[in-house]
Amino acid sequence: MSVRVECPSGLIVNLRRFKLADKDLMASKRTHRLGATTVLLRELTESIEEPGPYGLSEDGNLDWDDVLQGDRTAALLTNRIETWGDEMIAKRKCQSPSCNERIVMEYSLQDLEIRKLPKTSLPHVSDPDRTPLKTTLPSGAVVSFRLIRGGDEKKLKKLKKNNRDNLATAFMHYRVVEVAGVEKSKLRAWLANMDGRDDVFLEHAMDEAGCGVDTEVVFECPDCDYEWEEDVELGEDFLFPAYRGRSSTKK
């Protein structure tokens, strides 16, 4: 049975549900070298109803490396809900300094908001030359940036590994194409010394220009009633959750 997915950009795909072989696929070292999520999405795709802002190959296939990260996450989220259900179990330590109790909380994946791609970003996504988006910071600097796509997956993993001490600057440098009046060789240093207001504004502008799944969940400690918000990681236990029904061991 196919799962019909309407992605935030307007892309509409039909995916097959997850099966055991997909778990093997995600665990394969060869798959990770090729880009695990891209390989998985290629295997899951049965047909394309509407390509949205993306071009298709002559044989009608979609290049998942070209698809926005937000679309990819939304597609996997929908398929996960249709295959396994929307229940998620999270284990956390209470963030209250006076408590620190271990808690287990259940939440629904249906509650995660999916943000649509703004119409103003469609030309950037569909343009084969990928003309960057622009924004003007509070300081007056004009910044050109791009949205993250599937093909960036492997590069970002390498970037994270090689820039553990300055990851925020490295990630911003990866997304920013240029700043008007700043030499390319000096761009990273300029970003590292960017005013705090400009940094917050730019991150917000990038988020607003893109699409995807808001993974922020409100946690509440049952012992002290303390509440806090936290981004949950949609990792392997999200795609392939453990069985949480009745124990299969008879006593």
Residue 8: pLDDT above 90? yes
Average pLDDT over residues 192-196: 95
Query: Who's near 110: CB < 8 A, 6+ residues apart?
Result: 81, 86
Q: What's the pLDDT at 239? A: 82
Strands (DSSP E) along the chain, which ranges?
2-6, 12-16, 45-50, 87-93, 102-108, 114-115, 133-136, 142-145, 176-179, 212-213, 216-220, 227-231
Q: What's the pLDDT at 245? A: 54
Q: What's the pLDDT at 9? A: 97
| Residues 52-65 pLDDT 10s | 999 998 888 999 99
Average pLDDT over residues 146-171: 91
DSSP 3-state of 202 = helix
What φ, ψ does residue 24 adopt, rounded to 5°?
-65, -40
Q: Could you tell me the residue ranges of all domains in the chain? A: 2-114+213-239, 118-210
